[in-house]
């Protein structure tokens, strides 16, 4: 890596951290009640009960709802961006994404099974017109823990099933095909459960569309801790990705024990993806697009690429969450739908540009 590339990488990291701080600050003011309405109540000095109640309500909105939601979106995006960089390096495929080993389908199956066992409508609230307006994550804390645990357990079990079907991590192509097969099969089981338990279908939409609306401080701490662990592990394992980028034979010639290192990278990928999916549902394209955006700016080794892709994913999801809250306020768009539209549009444009110049992704 040249000195100029290292300097560009540092500049990019600084810009992404600055954008992250700005997005967190903006996250306190975007919602059904704008910051211009909250600000007077936050700092009002009236002693009467009405002023005190307004001040308490404003602080609750900012501290208990908006800040953890924004920070949670940042953490989930960081996990997905890191997982996307690991997946693309591990499979040596720029179209690889964090859900490639079947983790998304496994998490969906876990949530669908949990909802069916709980009766399908747990935690859901109907509006005055009879339409469901609350997500399944808004129920009792025990229900939320059950759904979160079911999603994480399903994601991990799907990855283990993929590894068993691929007979380990020695053959990348076999691992890739096994992940696709597991994803399709578990997706079919999820559809079957929803067909047999129609009451779960409406609640399941919250998970499938993705949302950060009910992320609390506990979820933020969990995701931040897992992110730090995964970043350290990925940085330590980055040498094997640099070797694999030069080919299997070159990696072997460097004396790298590929089988255990691949297994460790798969564990990082599964842990990061499973944690993010368990807290926010299925968020599309963040893990796929983040490494592409970093590589479009600077060419760096995999260690720095994974850190930068993690920061890029955090900025992407935090920004998408703000757009989802503000575009049609006071109503909200599912953030997973928004990332799919924006990320898919970006990749289509990228494919069109590269095809026109005779290149590939």
Q: In terms of C-beta density within 10 A (0-12 exposed, 13-18 middle, 19 or more buried), how is residue 16 classed?
A: buried
Q: Averaged over 233-245, what is the pLDDT?
A: 87
Task: Choose between 100 and 328: higher pLDDT.
Answer: 100
With 80 as the cut, is the pLDDT of residue 121 above it?
no
Beta-bridge partners for 132 = 126
pLDDT band at 134 (very low <50, low <70, confident <90, very high): very low
Q: Averaged over 129-148, what is the pLDDT?
A: 46
pLDDT computed for residue 75 by the predictor:
96
pLDDT computed for residue 20 by the predictor:
95
Instruction: Spell out where 230-329 has E strands.
Output: none
- Please state, in angstroms and rounded to a whole number, the distance separating the CA atoms of residues 85 and 100: 12
pLDDT band at 140 (very low <50, low <70, confident <90, very high): very low
pLDDT more than 90, % of the chain = 30
Give me 261's structure tokens.
């290192």
Query: Which tens digits make up the pLDDT trace of 12-56?
Result: 999 999 999 999 988 877 665 555 555 554 555 655 665 556 566
pLDDT computed for residue 181 by the predictor:
92
Q: Averaged over 186-200, what is the pLDDT?
A: 89
Q: Averaged over 115-128, what is the pLDDT?
A: 54
Identify how many contiguous H helices and E strands the chain contains and give both numbers.
15, 0
Cβ neighbours around 21 below 10 Å, total: 10
With 50 as the cut, is the pLDDT of residue 330 above it?
yes
> 338 Cβ partners below 8 Å, 6+ apart?
320, 323, 324, 327
Q: Averaged over 200-215, what is the pLDDT?
A: 82
Most confident range (mean pLDDT) of 72-81, 110-119, 235-244, 352-361 is 72-81
pLDDT computed for residue 268 by the predictor:
92
Q: In terms of C-beta density within 10 A (0-12 exposed, 13-18 middle, 19 or more buried), how is residue 122 classed?
A: buried
> 91 Cβ partners below 8 Å, 6+ apart?
100, 172, 175, 176
pLDDT computed for residue 44 by the predictor:
56
With 70 as the cut, is the pLDDT of residue 131 above it?
no
pLDDT computed for residue 234 by the predictor:
93
Q: Averaged over 281-291, what is the pLDDT?
A: 90
pLDDT computed for residue 203 by the predictor:
76
pLDDT more than 70, % of the chain = 80
Q: Averaged over 282-292, what is the pLDDT?
A: 90
Domains of the chain: 34-356 (1.10.3470.10)
The chain-wide mean pLDDT, for the chain, equals: 80
- Phi and psi of 170, rounded to 5°? -70, -35
- Please state, in angstroms and rounded to a whole number, the distance separating the CA atoms of residues 169 and 264: 10
- Please state, in angstroms and rounded to a whole number, the distance separating the CA atoms of residues 264 and 196: 38
- Please state, in angstroms and rounded to a whole number, the distance separating the CA atoms of residues 36 and 42: 10
Task: Choose between 314 and 96: higher pLDDT.
Answer: 314
pLDDT computed for residue 133 by the predictor:
33
CA-based nearest residue to 325, from 334, 317, 312: 334
Task: Choose between 23 and 118: higher pLDDT.
Answer: 23
pLDDT band at 92 (very low <50, low <70, confident <90, very high): confident
């Amino acid at each position: 890596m040249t000195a100029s590339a290292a300097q560009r990488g540092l500049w990019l990291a600084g810009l992404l951290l600055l954008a992250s701080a700005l997005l967190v600050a903006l996250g306190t003011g975007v919602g059904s009640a704008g910051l211009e309405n909250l600000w007077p109540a936050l700092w009002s000095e009236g002693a009467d009960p009405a002023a005190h109640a307004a001040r308490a309500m404003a602080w609750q909105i900012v501290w208990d709802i908006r800040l953890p939601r924004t920070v949670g979106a940042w953490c989930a995006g960081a996990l997905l961006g890191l997982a996307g960089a690991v997946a693309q390096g591990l499979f040596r495929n720029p179209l690889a994404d964090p859900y490639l080993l079947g983790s998304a389908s496994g998490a969906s199956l876990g949530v669908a099974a949990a909802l069916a066992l709980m009766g399908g409508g747990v935690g859901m609230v109907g509006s005055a017109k009879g339409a469901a307006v609350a997500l399944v994550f808004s129920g009792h804390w025990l229900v939320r823990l059950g759904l979160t645990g079911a999603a994480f357990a399903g994601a991990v079990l799907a990855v283990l099933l993929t590894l068993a079907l691929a007979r380990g991590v020695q053959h990348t192509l076999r691992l890739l095909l096994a992940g696709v097969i597991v994803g399709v099969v578990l997706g079919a089981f999820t559809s079957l459960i929803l067909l047999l338990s129609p009451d779960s279908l409406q609640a399941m939409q919250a998970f499938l569309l993705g949302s950060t609306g009910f992320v609390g401080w506990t979820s933020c701490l969990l995701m931040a801790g897992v992110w730090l662990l995964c970043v350290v592990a990925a940085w330590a394992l980055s040498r094997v990705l640099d070797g694999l980028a030069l080919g299997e034979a070159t990696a072997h010639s460097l004396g790298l024990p590929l089988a255990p290192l691949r297994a460790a990278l798969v564990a990082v990928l599964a842990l990061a993806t499973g944690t993010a999916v368990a807290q926010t549902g299925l968020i599309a394209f963040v893990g796929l697009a983040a490494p592409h955006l970093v590589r479009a700016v600077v060419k760096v080794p995999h260690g720095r690429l994974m850190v930068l892709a993690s920061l890029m994913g955090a900025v992407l999801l935090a920004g998408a969450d703000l757009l989802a809250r503000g575009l049609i306020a006071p109503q909200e768009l599912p953030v997973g739908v928004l990332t799919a539209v924006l990320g898919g549009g970006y990749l289509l444009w990228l494919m069109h540009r590269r095809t026109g110049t005779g290149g590939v992704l």
